[in-house]
Chains A and B, each alone.
Chain A
């Protein structure tokens, strides 16, 4: 089964924004089962005034969303997209820095997209020969990907670096294509994770209404 990449805003990397790539990608609903069609109790169908969320989601919703997050994380670990280093980042997050993981990951996205543009720009040069410069970009990409636990992206960067060290331009092109693919998949999945986390925080912050 293949799905199209989500549209604007999710991933704009080099030429990726201009062409569609069929990726084996499941939507959050398929992964988590969240949003099924069971009807909530009628008394709880009114919406909470502060969040606009249906009242039935409050309280109970937080636990379910936490389970959804855990399932998505388990999937990403199982696929090798993330490794233990991501858990190290989560260990650093606490009440004094409640958004630490998303802040670091957003910096990583910003830096990575610069690196990907630089790499593509280098390879597209007609007289390209600066493999040393390419190696510098790739070393940074390896380091930052390792540091946030982006295992598959890191592994592709290592293979890309090997092609660069051999001055293998064709190999570098192939590696770049794969790197852009892996990066987009990672970015989409982490965005999903953070969205669920945001919803969970909202749901957990609202008291469950008293029933008469």
Chain B
């Protein structure tokens, strides 16, 4: 097993993408990892972080638009379910992808029912993000 950098063969690696992504999560570990994946691996220059659903909603109320929103389910102040419902009610058409560590299917279904385009279990892998960015690009 080799320690160190492994060169990825994803097609997004070399080109700078003019996409914008919002990471909505209260966990600083997840914030750092997702931001690094997006900015370093996929060269998404416009990557922002919101610590809870209310910050995400406020960003949109100020006119921000994102191609992709990675939304955690459980957050203080405003959770992912509420934030997703509010964003859809505001007319936000961005791809909103739920990211959760919840084990119960019923809770995941509630999250999807709030208006998600898809929902994944944590952790998000490089391959998953690559697929999502490919969907947006197409």
- Is B truly associated with A? yes
Residues of A within 8 A of B (CB): 66, 69-70, 73-74, 77, 85, 87-94, 96-97, 100, 103-104, 107-108, 111, 136, 139-140, 142-144, 146-149, 158, 161-162, 197
Count chain B CB atoms within 10 A of each CB in A66, A87, A143, A161 and give the residue with the most: A143
Check B78 for interface membership: any CB of A closer than 8 A.
no
From the candidates A88, A107, A136, A162, name the one contacting B125 in the complex (CB within 8 A): A88
Does B61 lie at the interface of the complex (its beta carbon under 8 Å from any beta carbon of A)?
no
Whether A70 contacts B122 by the Cβ 8 Å rule is no
**1/0 per residue B48-82: CB within 8 Å of A?**
00000000000000000000000010100000000
From A103, A136, A158, B103 is in contact (CB under 8 Å) with A158
B126 touches A88 (CB 8 A): yes
- Give the size category of B's interface with A: 20 to 34
A90 touches B6 (CB 8 A): yes
A70 proximity list for chain B (CB < 8 A): 1-3
Is B103 in contact with A144, judged by CB distance below 8 angstroms? no
Return chain A residues, CB-CB under 8 Å to B28: 107, 111
B1 touches A139 (CB 8 A): no
Asked if A87 and B6 make an inter-chain contact with CB atoms under 8 angstroms apart, the answer reads: yes
- In the bound assembly, the distance between CA atoms of A104 and B101 in angstroms comes to 19
Can you list 26 residue pairs at the A/B interface with Cβ under 8 Å? A85-B123, A88-B126, A90-B5, A91-B5, A91-B6, A91-B126, A92-B40, A96-B40, A97-B36, A97-B40, A104-B29, A104-B33, A107-B28, A111-B28, A111-B29, A140-B26, A142-B122, A143-B27, A143-B101, A143-B123, A146-B123, A147-B29, A147-B33, A147-B123, A148-B29, A161-B103
